[in-house]
């Protein structure tokens, strides 16, 4: 079988975790991986069609009132494809696109007060993200109780990442405020 795109693997993984409809997949993404990997609604439905035509998921009609809806489950082939992708010996590309970090990189172009304001905004953004991620912890514990351990680990990594940004920025602010340096 040909390799799938990253969005298709996201959809396959979310169906594996129990998100059954396109809407549930989008909600699951919004409450979990959106903090490090985004997928649009426009990618979800074509991925569902591709996965179903490849025999990796099966779908059936499950209308909700007057709204049409399809729900999906992974097939044995889908489970195998997901495991194959997870265990494939390939580079794990790291791409971080953080506008806040990009702006901080160029902050020497600002006067010291503006740079400090920018630094504080970055700290606040990461502190807010830590609070948001901590709000998800009960759902991660519930997932762990269902046998899904790694979403909670990923959540902890996200919390640590944003806490590190907050901590390093606070340290930078203390060091340069204390030294009187611009």
Q: What is the pLDDT of residue 83?
A: 96
Q: Mean pLDDT, consecutive 10-residue segments, the chain of 182 residues?
A: 87 95 94 89 96 97 89 97 94 88 94 93 97 95 93 95 97 82 57
147-159 pLDDT, tens digit per residue, is 999 999 999 999 9
Q: Return the structure tokens found at 42.
A: 């426009």
Q: What is the pLDDT of residue 97?
A: 85
Q: What is the pLDDT of residue 182?
A: 53
Q: What is the pLDDT of residue 3?
A: 86
Q: What is the pLDDT of residue 181?
A: 61
Question: First and final CA of the chain: distance in angstroms?
Answer: 58
Closest CA to 150 of 32, 12, 4: 32
Closest CA to 9 of 78, 68, 60, 101: 78
- Helices (H), ranges, the chain: 6-16, 22-30, 41-53, 76-87, 99-105, 112-145, 150-179
Q: What is the pLDDT of residue 180?
A: 62
């Amino acid at each position: 079988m040909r390799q799938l795109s990253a969005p298709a693997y996201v959809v396959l993984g979310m169906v594996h975790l129990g998100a059954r409809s396109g809407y549930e997949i989008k909600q699951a993404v919004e409450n979990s991986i959106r903090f490090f990997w985004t997928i649009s609604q426009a990618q979800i439905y074509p991925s569902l069609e591709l996965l179903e035509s490849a025999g990796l998921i099966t779908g059936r009609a499950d209308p909700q009132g007057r709204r049409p809806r399809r729900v999906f489950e992974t097939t044995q082939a889908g489970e195998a494809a997901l495991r194959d992708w997870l265990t494939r010996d390939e580079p794990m590309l790291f791409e971080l696109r953080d506008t806040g970090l990009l702006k901080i990189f160029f902050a020497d172009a600002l006067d010291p007060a503006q740079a400090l304001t920018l630094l504080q905004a970055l700290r606040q953004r990461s502190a807010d993200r830590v609070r948001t991620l901590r709000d998800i912890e009960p759902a991660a514990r519930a997932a762990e109780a269902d046998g899904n351990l790694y979403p909670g680990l990923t959540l902890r990594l996200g919390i640590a990442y944003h806490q590190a940004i907050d901590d390093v920025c606070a340290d930078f602010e203390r060091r340069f405020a204390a030294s009187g340096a611009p």
